[in-house]
Chains A and B, each alone.
Chain A
Amino acid sequence: MFKRLERGGPTVRFRFEDEEIEAVEGESVAAALLAAGIDTFRTSPLGPARAPYCMIGMCFDCLVSIDGVENRRACQVAVAPGLSVRRQSGARRVG
């Protein structure tokens, strides 16, 4: 699995599902989750599991729910203390 090339820097804590994740300040949510060994970010509308592919905001495979808002690209959101991140199941809901 993934590991950080550099260690150090202030840490930030946030939640993924019911887990507490420790991240390094300035990382994206996607980088922090991958470093924590999370390999399923969502399930696609057709069912299969999905994880980040591009990490630069283009592939939309890292979609998660962040603080109740679905379809957020985890690679484009910086970690922040107290974020609540959840796996997304299928397409986002409108209502």
Chain B
Amino acid sequence: MPSRQPPTSLPSERFAVDVAVVGGGLVGSAIAWGALEAGATVALLDEGDVAHRASRGNFGQIWVQGKGEGHPPYARLTQRSATLWPEFSARLGVRTGIDVGFSQPGGLTLCLSEEELATRAAIASRLDAEGGSAGMAILDRDAVARMTPLPLGDSVRGASFCPADAHANPLALLRAFHLDIQAQGGAFIPHTSVEAVRAVRGGFAIATSAGEIVAGKVVVAAGLGSAGLAASLGLDMPVRPVRGQVMVTERAAPLGDFLFTGLRQTREGSLMIGGTQEEVGFDDGTANVAMRTMSRRAVASFPDIARLDVVRCWGALRIMTPDGRPIYQQSRRYPGAFAATCHSGVTLAAAHALVVAPSIVAGDLPHELATFSADRFHVQAA
């Protein structure tokens, strides 16, 4: 596909780094940033706006509540990332001068029926039985009313609350990663697609539209564009798109720090309403029927929201694995080649930077990460 951007040139004709990351979205950028922090030399390859760009349509939540049911390692990784986020975002902020807007007020999932409330209670108790729900608690309507900034709709019966839930500005986060990667001596190589990767002595030769990069390790973190490249490296990344739509209202006066499933106020004052899960292939458009459902639920939760005008809406494609959990894996056929993907690029950003990246630099995924191998999708592994 033609690009309006000028061709990127590599820092040198035969450019060599310890770690090359394919994919400049939130997952790849967090890993590249973390690899630099761990002392590696790094190249981050970003294809450009022809890519699906899940990181540009993200809702911006660090969401712990309810995650990892049936898979305690995922619950632990999510909780660990939320715990690492404050220090991680502060470090990025100090370095770059970019406020990524991190705030951790705790999140509420409002329930509009007794049935919804019972479902949330069941999730919390199963998580607690499996090793921890990060303090997820069930609140009745009166308790919720005391915590919320606007009068509740009549149908709100209660909510689940988790103090670990937080939010941030995903675009600012991505920008901060890209700036700091360059400031720390990493090579950020935009508008460059990877054509092929082959194993060579001591690593990999990566043929790109800008020239060849030689890397000791290569990480495939190209979201929905990962599958082909991964397969050539003996890695399995069975991901599919799941669309989420987001609506944004005009800016409003701050309502105080709060966070709900599918509803948050940005630092700038806009309300973001979101969170559809649609199986529509690679269609990243919007659909009125979904927006009607989303806005009805938001207004049923807080009737005052009906007064705000919607100024923007968009669809974006989540990167979904068959069981919704991340994939982290080192290739058995080509050691040094790694897969990393998930649908929670914001939530897991701190873990990717400070847990996954150092493991990749060390060349070994510890058991707590190896359990996310794509081998789980094959019966032979069971």
Q: A residues within 8 Å of B by Cβ?
A: 45, 69, 71, 90-95
Contacts and interface: CB of A to CB of B under 8 A. Distances in A.
B253 A90 contact: yes
Nearest to B309: A71
A45 B254 CA distance: 10
A39 B271 CA distance: 30
Interface in B24-51: none
Please list the 3 inter-chain residue pairs (A to B) with the smallest Cβ-Cβ separation, ordered nearest first.
Answer: A91-B253, A95-B304, A94-B252
Interface string B234-272: 000000000000000011111100000000000001010
> Which secondary structure characterizes the binding site on chain B?
loop
Contacts of A69: 307
A93 B307 CA distance: 9
Contacts of B254: 91
Nearest to B252: A94
A94 B250 contact: no
9 contacts: A69-B307, A91-B252, A92-B252, A94-B150, A94-B302, A94-B308, A95-B149, A95-B150, A95-B255
A45 B252 CA distance: 9
Interface string B213-251: 000000000000000000000000000000000000011
Nearest to B270: A91
Interface in B275-307: 302, 304-305, 307
Given A45-B269, A71-B309, A94 B255 contact: yes
Contacts of A90: 253
B247 to A, nearest CB: 15
Given A45-B253, A92-B308, A94-B302, 18 more contacts: A45-B251, A45-B269, A69-B307, A71-B250, A90-B253, A91-B252, A91-B253, A92-B251, A93-B252, A94-B252, A94-B253, A94-B304, A94-B305, A94-B308, A95-B149, A95-B150, A95-B255, A95-B304
Contacts of B305: 94
Nearest to B303: A95
Nearest to B305: A94
Contacts of B131: none
Contacts of A91: 251-254, 269
A41 to B, nearest CB: 17
A63 B304 CA distance: 20
A93 B254 CA distance: 8
Interface in B112-152: 149-151
B70 to A, nearest CB: 38
Contacts of A71: 250, 309
B354 to A, nearest CB: 35
B253 A93 contact: yes
Most buried by B among A69, A71, A93, A94: A94
Nearest to A71: B250
B270 to A, nearest CB: 10
A71 B150 CA distance: 19
A82 to B, nearest CB: 22
Contacts of B252: 91-94
Nearest to A60: B250
Most buried by A among B151, B250, B252: B252
Contacts of B251: 45, 91-92
Contacts of A94: 150, 252-253, 255, 271, 302, 304-305, 307-308
B271 to A, nearest CB: 8
Contacts of A45: 251, 253, 269
Nearest to B265: A94
Contacts of A95: 149-151, 255, 304
Nearest to B306: A94
B255 A92 contact: no
A92 B151 contact: no
Contacts of A92: 250-253, 308
A92 B309 CA distance: 11
A95 B305 CA distance: 8
Nearest to B302: A94
A85 B258 CA distance: 32
A91 B269 CA distance: 8
Nearest to A90: B253
